[in-house]
Structure 1
């Protein structure tokens, strides 16, 4: 993939993600008439990390144009090495932000009376925190001293994060396992709710969107594995950005359920001045 193509692809992904995130906030503030919650703020933090990752990757890819990598492994550009090093943190931490947002949403969704579910959620929350901390510690200490990550010495560069297969697959396992845990929690919630079968199917459909994130994450892992961890920087940057953006979009979609319901209700119910607008009715029902 060419440099310009990679940059355009990442910008498009950021724009789509920003649109969905803004729409989520619009639903929360205007349609539901509620203040933003912790779950909403965590999505924005995740988006900030994604933008920072794309910026770092852009700097690195631009540096690689004037300082081509030797055997796709070594470079004589300190700018490239430092940009890649910083991007590793933005990527690994950024992937946990949508998970944290979904977890915060589950804490709001599950009533206190469901003690077993809240205990399960507590276990998953602890695991999520430990996985995030473990990911950061791995990035910090897998290459020590830290300055080896941007050393121009070929032997020291070989120990850097971006050349470390162990750092890649351990961080992937931490992220993917957290996705799996979060994916199964809603199905236990649905079993405890008294809903019509149609409503249950709708909720299952919304929560099953997590499979999209897991599929993209698994595809990225397999592509790196098949290529023997030797994927071009442009292709790798786009794949990582796609995974981060998809995670944020999936985390935002449950918040758009009210909007979808509102559109369907408005289409079926004409406005009547004596009954008020359908928007008011729907908002009241979800309060």
Structure 2
């Protein structure tokens, strides 16, 4: 009795499991670096760890879990031809169970990433009523869409186990066109999220170069949209699902990591200013001297700081890094800043921060450079652990209130 072996137009022993592992490892490493730097900057440097930072951490942990399920699924045939998997007797239900869990975690991470952006916008751009309302509306729309898609993915089959065990009685939502609808909706909500801050950024009272750089950083999110568009063409899988699913899963993890990285980049300016001093413009001011304890304070933490120019006019002084954003909403601009002051004394008192108030700026607002930070002394460090005699020049904003 002779047996015949099915013939295929490909080598069933081909494998691209290594591609899946390499892609997942590379993407997750980049995202981990961005999140770790964000956590260090926000929690250690400026001590302003907030809801958007927690959302970024949650988004990464979900992306990490999704990536791990994609990578470990190679044990059950991911990256191999289905014919090889069947020939080797690898249980397909284990492959599809890992596949299901990775999809759920993918949608959870995507939801957390979008919420990270929106919470971040509310924190740094929520100083004006118009922007605050826009962020809240976007939060409701994007939140409802993302949560609804997450629930649909979780309960795509009834019972849930039918997703990986087709022999069970029950029903499942067809993968197509649901995956296309899900992808298209995510792209639309991504565009809404990434377009939302641009009008406010264009109205910031910053120099042109600073403004363009800031807009460029926030616009990097559109790179995630491009990845989402590319991913769509890989959603349709043939019967050789274990082989065809490699590009789709890799682009999915890449999409998550790209979004998380882009969400973290705007928060890293204080760290970059510390690591690369050349980012600051050097000069000196003979007026009052200030010690900047931290940068990138939130709108919720603010203090009033004033100085007097050579003509005796009262001026408000703030640093772009401390203020993070300045919104322009008509003729009256409301800014909140957080700066600790050192009144020429040799020792810095940790409890000497000014009371937290709002600083309303008038029409005469200009951006200048050349100030001196710190009190010039010969001692390198104070007993409190803060540096002395270090001249740090920063851009600053001066305002003259009309009487």
TM-score (norm. length: structure 2):
0.60
- Uncovered stretches (5+) of structure 1, i.e. residues with no partner: none
With over 3 angstroms needed to count, the CA separation of the structure-2 counterparts of 1:59 and 1:180, relative to structure 1, is same
Aligned to 1:90: 105
Aligned to 2:248: 236
With over 3 angstroms needed to count, the CA separation of the structure-2 counterparts of 1:129 and 1:281, relative to structure 1, is closer
8 Å CA contact 2:77, 2:95 repeated in 1: yes
Aligned to 2:114: 99
Match of 2:211 among 195, 200, 208: 200
SS in 2 for 1:193: coil
Superposed counterparts of 1:113-262, under 5 Å:
114-153=128-167, 164-224=175-235, 232-262=244-274
Deviation at 1:256, TM superposition (A): 1.2
State how far apart, in whole Å, the 2-side matches of 1:129 and 1:144 are.
Answer: 25
Aligned to 1:55: 68
Find out whether 1:13 has 2:27 as its counterpart: yes
SS in 1 for 2:271: helix
8 Å CA contact 1:262, 1:282 repeated in 2: no
How many equivalent residue pairs?
280
With over 3 angstroms needed to count, the CA separation of the structure-2 counterparts of 1:268 and 1:4, relative to structure 1, is same
SS in 1 for 2:233: helix
State how far apart, in whole Å, the 2-side matches of 1:166 and 1:37 are.
Answer: 38
SS in 2 for 1:62: helix
State how far apart, in whole Å, the 1-side matches of 2:50 and 2:276 are.
Answer: 26
Higher relative contact order (CA 8 A, sep 6+): 1
Deviation at 1:197, TM superposition (A): 2.0
With over 3 angstroms needed to count, the CA separation of the structure-2 counterparts of 1:18 and 1:220, relative to structure 1, is same
- Uncovered stretches (5+) of structure 2, i.e. residues with no partner: 1-14, 297-317, 323-337, 339-403
State how far apart, in whole Å, the 2-side matches of 1:199 and 1:228 are.
Answer: 52
8 Å CA contact 1:89, 1:139 repeated in 2: yes
State how far apart, in whole Å, the 2-side matches of 1:192 and 1:66 are.
Answer: 49
Aligned to 1:43: 56
Cα deviations by residue, 1:195-225 (Å, 9 ceiling, x for unpaired): 2222221211111101111111111113436
State how far apart, in whole Å, the 1-side matches of 2:145 and 2:180 are.
Answer: 13
Cα deviations by residue, 1:121-165 (Å, 9 ceiling, x for unpaired): 111000111012211222134333322201144998xx757x602
Deviation at 1:278, TM superposition (A): 9.3
Aligned to 1:64: 77
Match of 1:81 among 96, 112, 115: 96
SS in 2 for 1:253: helix
